[in-house]
Amino acid sequence: MNLFFKKVVHLSLIYTILLVQGCAISSTHQDYSQSSGLEQLIIAEPTPVNYKSEIAIARYSDFLTRATLTDEQTAKVLFDRGVLYDSVGLRTLARIDFTQALTLNNRLVDAYNFLGIYFTQVREFSQAYEKFDSVLDLKPNHEYAHLNRGIALYYGDRPDLAALDFATFHHSKQSDPYRLIWLYLAEYQINPELAKNNLTQRASLISEKTWAKQVVYLYLGELSQKQFIRNLSHDVTSNKVLTDRLCEAYFYLGKYNQMQGRLGAAMNFFKLSMATNVYEFVEHRYAKLELDLMRTKKVTLPKVNEPS
């Protein structure tokens, strides 16, 4: 989404990334970095922790210690502190707070949602499905539970069910490219050719002004990886915009290279997504899971045709 801080990167950092890229790819792809635009990679300054969040966490902690609260009030404070922990990447502490909050108030819908995400990240899929089902039992119109349950089903190797959740999520806002991309990823595992046809038809509903439509064009084969990378700096107004966009872009580049069978490149792109420290983005949350899955099982996906 957001972009720019200029294309100024420390030379040593560029050399390090290119060296890692070269080591990760087999000898059959030695010229890959020259043909794919990797030499033009943009590196953002990682998102710093917001000091206001740290202060708020300290205040919530002090409040829990000093104040006399009802169970419902304590649950609310624990939940709010958990959200702050999550925003700064302290997910274990967030998970503890959400769990404790639910013992005091078992109707905190979003606490179930967060826990479902955490269970997905550690591949405890049965528990993740249970948490998202709890969300939808309490609040049937909670659309992000469909996204998150769909992601859990996708990583749990249940693409048919994942596609159903993603379709529901996409239907509620068909102009959102991210909803379409996740639906495509699930459908691609079922039938790559049909997935591409569906992506082509649905893409017309997305505005050309939305930068993430570039991801759609990449997956459709209408944009090369080199062109995609070159376009990342367009219309960027701040380092925050840059960091957010790179978190998303590098994740989807990871998925794209995974589809192409370039697993070394895919892993490096997932690492670059994680390096942005945009903890709250879906892409950052699941980049580590992608790496874990690639290390523990062989990824075999049909290849997408890439334009020259």
Asked whether the predicted pLDDT for residue 59 surpasses 50, the reply is yes
**Percent above pLDDT 90 for the chain:** 76
The number of domains in the chain is: 2
| Mean of pLDDT values over 212-224 | 96
Q: Which of 112, 145, 172 is the C-terminal boundary of a domain?
A: 172
Asked whether the predicted pLDDT for residue 29 surpasses 70, the reply is no
Q: Is the pTM of this model over 0.85?
A: no
Tell me the HSE value of 307 on the side-chain side, using a 13 A CA sphere: 12
Q: Is residue 66 domain-shared with residue 123, that is, in the same domain?
A: yes
Asked if residues 237 and 261 have their Cβ atoms less than 8 Å apart, the reply is no
Q: Which of 137, 155, 172 is the C-terminal boundary of a domain?
A: 172
Asked whether the predicted pLDDT for residue 289 surpasses 70, the reply is yes
Q: Is residue 82 domain-shared with residue 147, that is, in the same domain?
A: yes
CA dist., res. 48 & res. 171, Å (int): 35
CA separation (Å) from 152 to 118, 167, 244, 288? Answer: 10, 15, 23, 14
Q: Is residue 84 domain-shared with residue 152, that is, in the same domain?
A: yes
Q: Which two tokens stand for residue 140?
A: 């049937």
Q: Is residue 11 domain-shared with residue 110, that is, in the same domain?
A: no
| Mean of pLDDT values over 214-237 | 93
| Mean of pLDDT values over 292-301 | 73
Q: Is residue 198 one of the residues assigned to a domain?
A: no
209 DSSP 8-state letter: T
Output the pLDDT for position 228: 95
Q: Is residue 179 one of the residues assigned to a domain?
A: no
CA dist., res. 290 & res. 88, Å (int): 21
Q: Is residue 20 domain-shared with residue 69, that is, in the same domain?
A: no
Q: Is residue 191 one of the residues assigned to a domain?
A: no
Asked whether the predicted pLDDT for residue 259 surpasses 80, the reply is yes
- Give 234's pLDDT tier (boundaries 50, 70, 90): confident
pLDDT tens per residue, range 86-120: 999 999 999 999 999 999 999 999 999 999 999 99
- Give 298's pLDDT tier (boundaries 50, 70, 90): low
36 DSSP 8-state letter: H
- Give 38's pLDDT tier (boundaries 50, 70, 90): low
Mean pLDDT rounded to a whole number for the chain:
86
| Mean of pLDDT values over 264-284 | 96
Please compute Rg for the chain using Cα positions: 20
Q: Is residue 152 one of the residues assigned to a domain?
A: yes
CA dist., res. 294 & res. 97, Å (int): 31
Asked whether the predicted pLDDT for residue 227 surpasses 60, the reply is yes
| Mean of pLDDT values over 280-306 | 79
**CATH number of the structural domain spanning residue 56:** 1.25.40.10
Q: Is residue 154 domain-shared with residue 236, that is, in the same domain?
A: no
Q: Is residue 200 one of the residues assigned to a domain?
A: no
Q: Is residue 104 domain-shared with residue 135, that is, in the same domain?
A: yes
C-alpha closest to that of 91 among 254, 255, 284: 284
Q: Domain range spanning residue 227?
A: 1-43+220-308
Output the pLDDT for position 39: 58
> Taking the CB of residue 75, how many other CB atoms lie within 10 A of it?
23
pLDDT tens per residue, range 60-92: 999 999 999 999 999 999 999 999 999 999 999
Q: Is residue 177 one of the residues assigned to a domain?
A: no
Asked whether the predicted pLDDT for residue 190 surpasses 70, the reply is yes
Output the pLDDT for position 23: 40
Q: Is residue 53 domain-shared with residue 39, that is, in the same domain?
A: no
Asked if residues 165 and 187 have their Cβ atoms less than 8 Å apart, the reply is no
| Mean of pLDDT values over 10-23 | 36
Q: Is residue 226 domain-shared with residue 155, that is, in the same domain?
A: no
Asked whether the predicted pLDDT for residue 305 surpasses 60, the reply is no
| Mean of pLDDT values over 206-212 | 94
Q: Is residue 165 one of the residues assigned to a domain?
A: yes
Q: Is residue 226 domain-shared with residue 163, that is, in the same domain?
A: no
Q: Is residue 28 domain-shared with residue 75, that is, in the same domain?
A: no
Output the pLDDT for position 1: 43
Q: Is residue 205 one of the residues assigned to a domain?
A: no
Q: Is residue 167 domain-shared with residue 231, that is, in the same domain?
A: no
